Amino acid sequence: MLLCLTANHRNASFEILEKLSVGAPQAAGILVNDGDFVSGAVVLATCNRFEAYLEIDEPLTAATAVAVENSVQVISAASGIDPAALRETVTVLSGDDVAEHLFSVSSGLESVIVGEDEISGQVRRALEQARAAGTTSSALERLFQQAANTSREVKNQTAIGGAGRSLVRLGLELASSRIADWSATRVLIIGTGQYAATTVAALRDRGAEDVTVYSPSGRAARFALRLGLTASIDLVAALAAADVVITCTTTEAPVVSAAHLSPSAGNARRIVIDLGLPRNVHPDVATVAGTELLDLETISLHAPLEELTATTDARALVSSAASEFAATITEQQLTPSVVALRTHVFGLLETEIARARARGDEDGRVEAALRHLTGVLLHTPSVRARELARAGEAQSFSDAVTALFGIATSAATPAEETRGDLQA
Protein backbone atom coordinates (compact mmCIF):
# COMPACT_ATOMS: atom_id res chain seq x y z
CA MET A 1 0.00 0.00 0.00
CA LEU A 2 1.19 3.51 -0.77
CA LEU A 3 1.23 6.33 1.78
CA CYS A 4 2.19 9.99 1.57
CA LEU A 5 2.94 12.35 4.44
CA THR A 6 2.85 15.89 3.10
CA ALA A 7 3.57 19.30 4.58
CA ASN A 8 3.52 22.29 2.25
CA HIS A 9 3.02 26.03 2.00
CA ARG A 10 -0.72 25.55 2.56
CA ASN A 11 -0.60 23.64 5.85
CA ALA A 12 2.87 24.33 7.30
CA SER A 13 4.79 27.39 8.43
CA PHE A 14 8.00 28.34 6.68
CA GLU A 15 9.85 27.62 9.94
CA ILE A 16 8.68 23.99 9.90
CA LEU A 17 9.40 23.64 6.18
CA GLU A 18 12.91 24.96 6.75
CA LYS A 19 13.61 22.36 9.41
CA LEU A 20 12.14 19.58 7.29
CA SER A 21 14.21 20.55 4.26
CA VAL A 22 17.42 20.26 6.30
CA GLY A 23 16.95 17.16 8.42
CA ALA A 24 14.09 15.06 7.12
CA PRO A 25 15.57 13.73 3.83
CA GLN A 26 17.86 11.41 5.80
CA ALA A 27 14.76 9.86 7.36
CA ALA A 28 14.10 7.71 4.26
CA GLY A 29 16.95 5.32 5.02
CA ILE A 30 15.91 5.01 8.66
CA LEU A 31 12.30 4.29 7.74
CA VAL A 32 13.22 1.52 5.29
CA ASN A 33 16.08 -0.05 7.25
CA ASP A 34 14.64 0.18 10.75
CA GLY A 35 10.87 0.32 10.19
CA ASP A 36 8.65 -2.74 10.69
CA PHE A 37 6.36 -2.24 7.70
CA VAL A 38 8.01 0.30 5.37
CA SER A 39 9.49 -1.42 2.31
CA GLY A 40 10.23 1.70 0.26
CA ALA A 41 10.57 5.45 0.78
CA VAL A 42 11.14 8.47 -1.46
CA VAL A 43 11.46 11.91 0.15
CA LEU A 44 10.80 15.13 -1.76
CA ALA A 45 11.98 18.29 0.02
CA THR A 46 11.71 21.67 -1.73
CA CYS A 47 11.42 25.27 -0.64
CA ASN A 48 7.66 24.99 -0.31
CA ARG A 49 6.97 21.37 0.56
CA PHE A 50 8.08 18.20 2.26
CA GLU A 51 6.68 14.88 1.10
CA ALA A 52 7.49 11.34 2.25
CA TYR A 53 6.17 8.69 -0.15
CA LEU A 54 6.13 5.26 1.46
CA GLU A 55 5.26 1.75 0.45
CA ILE A 56 4.13 -0.35 3.38
CA ASP A 57 3.37 -4.03 3.86
CA GLU A 58 0.15 -4.72 5.75
CA PRO A 59 0.59 -7.81 7.93
CA LEU A 60 -1.68 -6.25 10.56
CA THR A 61 -4.99 -4.42 10.37
CA ALA A 62 -3.41 -1.41 12.07
CA ALA A 63 -0.28 -1.43 9.91
CA THR A 64 -1.13 1.91 8.26
CA ALA A 65 -1.60 3.71 11.56
CA VAL A 66 1.58 2.14 12.95
CA ALA A 67 3.57 3.11 9.86
CA VAL A 68 2.30 6.71 9.99
CA GLU A 69 3.12 7.11 13.67
CA ASN A 70 6.56 5.56 13.24
CA SER A 71 7.25 7.84 10.28
CA VAL A 72 6.23 10.91 12.27
CA GLN A 73 8.59 9.91 15.06
CA VAL A 74 11.53 9.30 12.69
CA ILE A 75 10.98 12.52 10.72
CA SER A 76 10.55 14.45 13.96
CA ALA A 77 13.87 13.19 15.30
CA ALA A 78 15.68 13.92 12.03
CA SER A 79 14.33 17.46 11.70
CA GLY A 80 14.16 18.59 15.32
CA ILE A 81 10.41 19.24 15.19
CA ASP A 82 8.20 18.29 18.12
CA PRO A 83 6.25 15.12 17.20
CA ALA A 84 2.94 16.66 18.27
CA ALA A 85 3.54 19.74 16.11
CA LEU A 86 4.54 17.59 13.14
CA ARG A 87 1.54 15.31 13.61
CA GLU A 88 -0.78 18.33 13.52
CA THR A 89 0.95 19.72 10.44
CA VAL A 90 1.28 16.81 8.02
CA THR A 91 -1.56 15.52 5.91
CA VAL A 92 -1.65 11.75 5.39
CA LEU A 93 -2.80 10.34 2.06
CA SER A 94 -3.19 6.66 1.22
CA GLY A 95 -4.10 4.36 -1.62
CA ASP A 96 -5.31 5.94 -4.86
CA ASP A 97 -5.08 9.46 -3.39
CA VAL A 98 -1.27 9.19 -3.31
CA ALA A 99 -0.96 8.88 -7.08
CA GLU A 100 -3.28 11.79 -7.81
CA HIS A 101 -1.44 13.97 -5.31
CA LEU A 102 2.04 13.21 -6.68
CA PHE A 103 0.89 13.64 -10.29
CA SER A 104 -0.59 17.00 -9.32
CA VAL A 105 2.57 18.05 -7.47
CA SER A 106 4.84 16.98 -10.32
CA SER A 107 2.71 18.94 -12.79
CA GLY A 108 3.08 22.14 -10.76
CA LEU A 109 -0.56 22.30 -9.71
CA GLU A 110 0.21 22.37 -5.98
CA SER A 111 3.02 24.91 -6.14
CA VAL A 112 2.97 28.46 -4.83
CA ILE A 113 3.19 29.51 -8.47
CA VAL A 114 0.79 27.23 -10.32
CA GLY A 115 2.58 25.64 -13.27
CA GLU A 116 6.10 26.42 -12.04
CA ASP A 117 8.94 24.95 -14.08
CA GLU A 118 11.24 23.55 -11.38
CA ILE A 119 9.09 21.03 -9.53
CA SER A 120 9.10 18.20 -12.11
CA GLY A 121 12.90 18.12 -12.01
CA GLN A 122 12.85 18.11 -8.21
CA VAL A 123 10.48 15.11 -8.24
CA ARG A 124 12.79 13.29 -10.65
CA ARG A 125 15.83 14.00 -8.48
CA ALA A 126 13.99 12.75 -5.38
CA LEU A 127 13.58 9.36 -7.06
CA GLU A 128 17.22 9.35 -8.19
CA GLN A 129 18.36 10.05 -4.63
CA ALA A 130 16.18 7.23 -3.31
CA ARG A 131 17.71 4.88 -5.87
CA ALA A 132 21.21 5.91 -4.84
CA ALA A 133 20.33 5.38 -1.17
CA GLY A 134 18.64 2.05 -1.87
CA THR A 135 15.30 3.09 -0.39
CA THR A 136 13.01 2.93 -3.40
CA SER A 137 10.76 -0.01 -4.37
CA SER A 138 9.15 -1.27 -7.55
CA ALA A 139 5.78 0.24 -6.63
CA LEU A 140 7.36 3.64 -5.94
CA GLU A 141 9.36 3.38 -9.17
CA ARG A 142 6.13 2.88 -11.13
CA LEU A 143 4.46 5.72 -9.25
CA PHE A 144 7.24 8.25 -9.87
CA GLN A 145 7.78 7.21 -13.49
CA GLN A 146 4.09 7.73 -14.20
CA ALA A 147 4.29 11.08 -12.41
CA ALA A 148 7.03 12.13 -14.84
CA ASN A 149 4.93 11.02 -17.81
CA THR A 150 1.90 12.91 -16.48
CA SER A 151 3.82 16.15 -15.91
CA ARG A 152 5.09 15.98 -19.51
CA GLU A 153 1.55 15.50 -20.80
CA VAL A 154 0.30 18.43 -18.75
CA LYS A 155 3.11 20.64 -20.02
CA ASN A 156 2.59 19.60 -23.65
CA GLN A 157 -1.21 19.57 -23.73
CA THR A 158 -2.19 22.56 -21.58
CA ALA A 159 -1.16 26.18 -21.19
CA ILE A 160 -0.40 25.80 -17.49
CA GLY A 161 3.34 26.42 -17.87
CA GLY A 162 3.23 28.65 -20.92
CA ALA A 163 4.13 31.80 -19.06
CA GLY A 164 7.26 30.25 -17.58
CA ARG A 165 6.14 31.13 -14.08
CA SER A 166 8.48 30.31 -11.20
CA LEU A 167 9.47 31.62 -7.83
CA VAL A 168 12.47 33.28 -9.45
CA ARG A 169 10.37 35.10 -12.00
CA LEU A 170 7.72 36.12 -9.48
CA GLY A 171 10.40 37.56 -7.19
CA LEU A 172 11.80 39.57 -10.10
CA GLU A 173 8.32 40.73 -11.07
CA LEU A 174 7.81 42.09 -7.55
CA ALA A 175 11.21 43.78 -7.69
CA SER A 176 10.47 45.28 -11.11
CA SER A 177 7.86 47.58 -9.60
CA ARG A 178 10.74 49.28 -7.72
CA ILE A 179 13.27 49.30 -10.59
CA ALA A 180 13.06 51.74 -13.48
CA ASP A 181 15.78 50.24 -15.69
CA TRP A 182 17.21 46.75 -15.23
CA SER A 183 20.02 47.47 -17.68
CA ALA A 184 21.39 50.07 -15.27
CA THR A 185 20.86 47.93 -12.16
CA ARG A 186 23.77 46.23 -10.42
CA VAL A 187 22.74 42.70 -9.45
CA LEU A 188 24.49 40.27 -7.10
CA ILE A 189 23.54 36.59 -7.16
CA ILE A 190 24.62 34.48 -4.19
CA GLY A 191 24.65 30.83 -5.21
CA THR A 192 25.70 28.74 -8.21
CA GLY A 193 23.06 25.99 -8.47
CA GLN A 194 20.11 25.47 -10.80
CA TYR A 195 18.11 28.27 -9.19
CA ALA A 196 21.03 30.63 -9.79
CA ALA A 197 21.17 29.64 -13.48
CA THR A 198 17.41 30.15 -13.78
CA THR A 199 17.81 33.54 -12.13
CA VAL A 200 20.47 34.62 -14.61
CA ALA A 201 18.19 33.69 -17.52
CA ALA A 202 15.26 35.58 -15.99
CA LEU A 203 17.43 38.65 -15.34
CA ARG A 204 18.67 38.72 -18.92
CA ASP A 205 15.09 38.49 -20.14
CA ARG A 206 14.54 41.76 -18.29
CA GLY A 207 17.64 43.38 -19.75
CA ALA A 208 19.99 43.12 -16.77
CA GLU A 209 23.64 43.43 -17.86
CA ASP A 210 25.68 44.09 -14.71
CA VAL A 211 25.48 40.74 -12.87
CA THR A 212 28.00 39.52 -10.28
CA VAL A 213 28.01 36.14 -8.59
CA TYR A 214 29.32 35.13 -5.18
CA SER A 215 29.47 31.54 -3.91
CA PRO A 216 29.85 30.52 -0.24
CA SER A 217 31.37 27.27 -1.52
CA GLY A 218 33.94 28.97 -3.75
CA ARG A 219 32.38 27.99 -7.10
CA ALA A 220 31.70 31.52 -8.33
CA ALA A 221 34.58 31.73 -10.82
CA ARG A 222 33.60 28.63 -12.78
CA PHE A 223 29.89 29.56 -12.74
CA ALA A 224 30.69 33.12 -13.86
CA LEU A 225 32.91 31.90 -16.70
CA ARG A 226 30.24 29.53 -17.97
CA LEU A 227 27.50 32.18 -18.00
CA GLY A 228 29.54 35.28 -18.81
CA LEU A 229 29.24 36.97 -15.41
CA THR A 230 31.59 38.69 -12.99
CA ALA A 231 32.76 36.65 -10.01
CA SER A 232 33.45 38.05 -6.54
CA ILE A 233 35.24 36.52 -3.56
CA ASP A 234 34.46 39.44 -1.20
CA LEU A 235 30.86 39.20 0.01
CA VAL A 236 30.76 42.50 1.91
CA ALA A 237 32.19 44.46 -1.02
CA ALA A 238 29.85 42.76 -3.48
CA LEU A 239 26.86 43.57 -1.28
CA ALA A 240 27.91 47.20 -0.96
CA ALA A 241 28.09 47.54 -4.76
CA ALA A 242 24.73 45.91 -5.51
CA ASP A 243 21.31 47.44 -6.03
CA VAL A 244 19.59 44.05 -6.07
CA VAL A 245 20.78 40.97 -4.18
CA ILE A 246 19.31 37.55 -4.98
CA THR A 247 20.22 34.61 -2.78
CA CYS A 248 19.62 30.98 -3.76
CA THR A 249 22.08 28.68 -2.00
CA THR A 250 21.59 25.45 -0.06
CA THR A 251 23.54 26.48 3.03
CA GLU A 252 21.88 25.67 6.35
CA ALA A 253 22.71 29.02 7.99
CA PRO A 254 21.98 32.53 6.67
CA VAL A 255 24.70 33.87 4.38
CA VAL A 256 23.64 37.50 4.63
CA SER A 257 22.72 39.38 7.78
CA ALA A 258 22.46 43.01 8.84
CA ALA A 259 26.11 42.89 9.89
CA HIS A 260 27.12 42.45 6.24
CA LEU A 261 25.25 45.54 5.05
CA SER A 262 25.79 49.25 5.46
CA PRO A 263 22.85 51.68 5.22
CA SER A 264 22.10 52.84 1.67
CA ALA A 265 23.34 56.33 0.90
CA GLY A 266 20.87 59.10 0.17
CA ASN A 267 17.60 57.95 -1.36
CA ALA A 268 19.11 54.80 -2.86
CA ARG A 269 17.27 51.57 -2.10
CA ARG A 270 18.62 48.05 -2.00
CA ILE A 271 16.34 45.07 -2.70
CA VAL A 272 17.26 41.68 -1.25
CA ILE A 273 15.37 38.68 -2.69
CA ASP A 274 15.81 35.51 -0.63
CA LEU A 275 14.90 32.38 -2.61
CA GLY A 276 16.66 29.99 -0.26
CA LEU A 277 15.22 27.39 2.06
CA PRO A 278 16.54 27.26 4.69
CA ARG A 279 16.67 31.04 4.64
CA ASN A 280 19.80 32.51 3.10
CA VAL A 281 19.08 35.94 4.55
CA HIS A 282 18.60 36.76 8.22
CA PRO A 283 15.34 38.69 8.87
CA ASP A 284 17.35 41.50 10.54
CA VAL A 285 18.41 42.63 7.04
CA ALA A 286 15.04 44.37 6.81
CA THR A 287 16.11 46.69 9.63
CA VAL A 288 19.02 48.15 7.62
CA ALA A 289 18.13 51.60 6.33
CA GLY A 290 17.23 51.64 2.64
CA THR A 291 16.94 47.86 2.39
CA GLU A 292 13.80 45.94 1.40
CA LEU A 293 13.65 42.19 1.95
CA LEU A 294 11.53 39.91 -0.24
CA ASP A 295 11.65 36.39 1.20
CA LEU A 296 9.73 33.29 0.15
CA GLU A 297 6.92 34.02 2.58
CA THR A 298 6.45 37.50 1.16
CA ILE A 299 6.71 36.28 -2.43
CA SER A 300 4.13 33.55 -1.87
CA LEU A 301 1.59 36.14 -0.67
CA HIS A 302 1.75 37.73 -4.13
CA ALA A 303 1.30 34.52 -6.11
CA PRO A 304 -1.05 35.21 -9.02
CA LEU A 305 -4.51 33.66 -9.21
CA GLU A 306 -4.73 30.43 -11.18
CA GLU A 307 -5.65 30.67 -14.81
CA LEU A 308 -8.99 28.90 -14.69
CA THR A 309 -9.09 27.13 -18.04
CA ALA A 310 -5.48 25.96 -18.06
CA THR A 311 -5.68 24.71 -14.49
CA THR A 312 -8.96 22.90 -15.10
CA ASP A 313 -7.55 21.17 -18.17
CA ALA A 314 -4.40 20.19 -16.29
CA ARG A 315 -6.33 18.79 -13.33
CA ALA A 316 -8.50 16.74 -15.68
CA LEU A 317 -5.37 15.18 -17.19
CA VAL A 318 -3.95 14.46 -13.72
CA SER A 319 -7.21 12.88 -12.56
CA SER A 320 -7.37 10.69 -15.67
CA ALA A 321 -3.75 9.58 -15.26
CA ALA A 322 -4.31 8.78 -11.57
CA SER A 323 -7.42 6.72 -12.38
CA GLU A 324 -5.54 4.78 -15.04
CA PHE A 325 -2.64 4.16 -12.64
CA ALA A 326 -5.03 2.88 -9.97
CA ALA A 327 -6.78 0.63 -12.49
CA THR A 328 -3.45 -0.81 -13.66
CA ILE A 329 -2.40 -1.58 -10.09
CA THR A 330 -5.75 -3.25 -9.43
CA GLU A 331 -5.42 -5.35 -12.58
CA GLN A 332 -2.00 -6.51 -11.46
CA GLN A 333 -3.56 -7.90 -8.28
CA LEU A 334 -5.39 -10.46 -10.43
CA THR A 335 -2.22 -11.62 -12.17
CA PRO A 336 -1.86 -14.79 -10.01
CA SER A 337 -5.43 -15.86 -10.84
CA VAL A 338 -5.04 -15.20 -14.56
CA VAL A 339 -1.69 -17.00 -14.64
CA ALA A 340 -3.13 -19.96 -12.74
CA LEU A 341 -6.04 -20.22 -15.18
CA ARG A 342 -3.80 -20.00 -18.24
CA THR A 343 -1.36 -22.55 -16.78
CA HIS A 344 -4.21 -24.96 -16.12
CA VAL A 345 -5.72 -24.56 -19.59
CA PHE A 346 -2.40 -24.76 -21.41
CA GLY A 347 -1.57 -27.90 -19.43
CA LEU A 348 -4.76 -29.48 -20.77
CA LEU A 349 -3.89 -28.24 -24.24
CA GLU A 350 -0.47 -29.88 -24.26
CA THR A 351 -2.04 -33.15 -23.12
CA GLU A 352 -4.52 -33.07 -26.00
CA ILE A 353 -1.81 -32.12 -28.51
CA ALA A 354 0.29 -35.08 -27.39
CA ARG A 355 -2.75 -37.33 -27.79
CA ALA A 356 -3.41 -35.94 -31.30
CA ARG A 357 0.17 -36.57 -32.35
CA ALA A 358 -0.05 -40.13 -31.09
CA ARG A 359 -3.11 -40.61 -33.28
CA GLY A 360 -1.29 -39.47 -36.41
CA ASP A 361 -1.65 -35.67 -36.64
CA GLU A 362 1.34 -35.52 -38.97
CA ASP A 363 0.52 -32.22 -40.69
CA GLY A 364 -0.22 -30.41 -37.41
CA ARG A 365 -3.73 -29.33 -38.38
CA VAL A 366 -5.30 -30.65 -35.20
CA GLU A 367 -2.61 -29.00 -33.07
CA ALA A 368 -3.15 -25.65 -34.82
CA ALA A 369 -6.91 -25.92 -34.34
CA LEU A 370 -6.52 -26.75 -30.67
CA ARG A 371 -4.16 -23.82 -30.08
CA HIS A 372 -6.53 -21.45 -31.87
CA LEU A 373 -9.50 -22.69 -29.87
CA THR A 374 -7.57 -22.30 -26.61
CA GLY A 375 -6.69 -18.71 -27.44
CA VAL A 376 -10.32 -17.91 -28.26
CA LEU A 377 -11.57 -19.51 -25.05
CA LEU A 378 -9.04 -17.64 -22.87
CA HIS A 379 -9.69 -14.23 -24.47
CA THR A 380 -13.01 -13.54 -22.75
CA PRO A 381 -11.86 -14.56 -19.23
CA SER A 382 -8.79 -12.31 -19.64
CA VAL A 383 -10.95 -9.35 -20.65
CA ARG A 384 -13.42 -10.02 -17.85
CA ALA A 385 -10.57 -10.17 -15.34
CA ARG A 386 -9.56 -6.62 -16.25
CA GLU A 387 -13.16 -5.40 -16.18
CA LEU A 388 -13.88 -6.98 -12.81
CA ALA A 389 -10.63 -5.67 -11.35
CA ARG A 390 -11.47 -2.12 -12.42
CA ALA A 391 -14.96 -2.51 -10.99
CA GLY A 392 -13.53 -3.54 -7.62
CA GLU A 393 -14.67 -7.17 -7.97
CA ALA A 394 -11.31 -8.88 -8.38
CA GLN A 395 -12.09 -11.50 -5.74
CA SER A 396 -15.16 -12.68 -7.66
CA PHE A 397 -12.92 -13.65 -10.59
CA SER A 398 -10.58 -15.62 -8.33
CA ASP A 399 -13.56 -17.35 -6.71
CA ALA A 400 -14.97 -18.25 -10.13
CA VAL A 401 -11.68 -19.76 -11.29
CA THR A 402 -11.54 -21.88 -8.14
CA ALA A 403 -15.18 -22.95 -8.43
CA LEU A 404 -15.06 -23.87 -12.11
CA PHE A 405 -11.61 -25.43 -12.41
CA GLY A 406 -10.71 -26.39 -8.86
CA ILE A 407 -7.67 -24.10 -8.92
CA ALA A 408 -6.67 -22.70 -5.53
CA THR A 409 -5.82 -19.06 -6.26
CA SER A 410 -6.45 -15.62 -4.83
CA ALA A 411 -5.90 -12.01 -5.82
CA ALA A 412 -2.48 -10.75 -4.75
CA THR A 413 -2.11 -7.87 -2.36
CA PRO A 414 -0.09 -4.85 -3.57
CA ALA A 415 2.71 -5.84 -1.23
CA GLU A 416 2.81 -9.35 -2.70
CA GLU A 417 2.93 -7.84 -6.19
CA THR A 418 5.91 -5.74 -5.18
CA ARG A 419 7.77 -8.67 -3.66
CA GLY A 420 7.10 -10.69 -6.81
CA ASP A 421 8.53 -7.88 -8.97
CA LEU A 422 11.64 -7.69 -6.83
CA GLN A 423 12.20 -11.45 -7.04
CA ALA A 424 11.76 -11.58 -10.82
Which residues belong to the active site? 47
| Residue in 335, 421, 297, 309 with CA at minimum distance from that of residue 16 | 297
Residue 59: exposure state from Cβ atoms within 10 A (0-12, 13-18, ≥19): exposed
Phi/psi at 306 (5° precision):
-65, 145
| Residue in 54, 98, 106 with CA at minimum distance from that of residue 75 | 54
Strands of 168-311, DSSP E: 186-190, 210-214, 230-232, 244-247, 270-274, 291-294
SS3 65: helix
Q: For residues 30 and 5, is the Cβ–Cβ distance under 8 A?
A: no
CA–CA distances in Å: residue 76 to residues 2, 79, 124, 420: 21, 5, 25, 33
| Residue in 250, 233, 253, 232 with CA at minimum distance from that of residue 186 | 232
Tally: H helices and E strands in the chain:
17, 10
**C-alpha to C-alpha distance for 243 and 73, rounded to whole angstroms:** 45
How many other C-beta atoms lie within 10 A of the C-beta of residue 323? 14
DSSP state of 275: -
Three-state SS sequence of 123-151: HHHHHHHHHHHCCCCHHHHHHHHHHHHHH
4: Cβ contacts below 8 Å, ≥ 6 apart = 51, 52, 53, 54, 92, 93, 94, 97, 98, 101, 102
**C-alpha to C-alpha distance for 70 and 417, rounded to whole angstroms:** 24
DSSP state of 256: B
**C-alpha to C-alpha distance for 140 and 295, rounded to whole angstroms:** 34
